[in-house]
Each structure stands twice: as C-alpha cells, then as structure tokens.
C-alpha cells in the first residue's frame, strides 16, 4: 500500500469512459493528470476492466481495446482484493487522496463520510474536482519550489 498523497488520483470506470467518449469535466480532470508528470493516475486491473466494458458497450470493441492499450501506459497499477469496489480499492491500495466518480452513492455526503472513515480520500464528481483542483497550489506541497506549469502534452 502506498502512502496517501494528494498527487495520486483514481478515476472510476464511468469517468474513464466519459473522458474518452464525451469529454467535458471528465476530460478536464484527466488532462490535469496527463499534463503533469508529478500527478499519478492509480488504477487496478478490475477498474480498467470495468471501464473497458463500458467503452465497448457504448462504442465498440476495437475502440475499447485501443483505449486499454493506451491507458496501461498512463496508469500506475495496484492490486485489488476480489470483491472490493474497484475505484475505492485502487485509492486505498494506491494511496490516492482523490477519487473521481459519477456514482452518487460515493459522491454524496453519506458515501463520502463512509469512505473517509476507512480511507484518507475524498470522492468527488469530475465537475467538483475540476472546480477545486489547482495544480499550481498543490505543486509546492508535493514537489516543492515554484510551479513550472504543465510539463507534458495531454494528447501525446
């Protein structure tokens, strides 16, 4: 299990699929991660399996397979016990302090309280995260020094 860090982020399967298929706040959030080498996308294999299945169901198998090949290079894999919720298990085992999800059972006050009782993480919708997340303010805490701006192309 990794030490909790605000630079480690989990995107639930619905957010991963929305990033690819619809854009919007899901893409904005994941673009933050892709644009900064010091931010880490944490995801278990079951989490990626779920996202791949959603993409295949909403688009097609070829796009889902291409997405899976690409996301494998962008994420830090973590182990997940069988039966655990993929996003929450990824956060717990990967030390992620942020979970992005559209699941109202997780993002609501009751769900967030239940999660915070067990894991040092906050579950937010992509629009809430996009509004609150500021890499310039986080950089001195995580890396140190003055924020240099994004250091990667999010589309590369």
In a domain, 149, yes or no: no
- Summarize pLDDT for 32-90 with one digit per residue, the tens: 999 999 999 999 999 999 999 999 999 999 999 999 999 999 999 999 989 888 999 99
Round to whole Å and give the CA distance between 41 and 95.
11
Taking alpha carbons only, the member of 105, 150, 149, 98 closest to residue 128 is 98
In a domain, 38, yes or no: yes
- What is the value of pTM for the model shown? 0.92
In a domain, 36, yes or no: yes
Structural domain boundaries enclosing 37: 5-134
Round to whole Å and give the CA distance between 90 and 136.
25
In a domain, 144, yes or no: no
- Summarize pLDDT for 90-105 with one digit per residue, the tens: 999 999 999 999 998 8
In a domain, 28, yes or no: yes
Q: Could you tell me the CATH number of the domain that includes residue 9?
A: 3.40.50.1010
In a domain, 150, yes or no: no
In a domain, 56, yes or no: yes
Q: How many domains does the chain have?
A: 1
């Amino acid at each position: 299990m990794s030490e909790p860090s605000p630079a480690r982020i989990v995107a639930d399967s619905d957010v991963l699929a929305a990033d690819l298929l619809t854009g919007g706040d899901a893409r904005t959030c994941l673009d933050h991660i892709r644009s900064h080498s010091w931010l880490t996308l944490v995801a278990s294999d079951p989490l990626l399996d779920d996202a791949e299945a959603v993409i295949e169901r909403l688009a097609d198998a070829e796009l889902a397979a291409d997405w899976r090949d690409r996301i494998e290079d962008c994420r830090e894999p973590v182990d997940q016990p069988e039966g655990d919720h993929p996003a929450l298990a990824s956060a717990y085992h990967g030390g992620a302090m942020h979970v992005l999800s559209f699941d109202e059972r997780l993002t609501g006050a009751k769900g967030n309280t239940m999660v915070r009782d067990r894991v040092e993480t906050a579950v937010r919708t992509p629009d809430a995260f996009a509004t609150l997340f500021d890499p310039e303010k986080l950089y001195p805490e995580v890396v140190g020094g003055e924020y240099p701006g994004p250091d990667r192309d999010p589309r590369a």
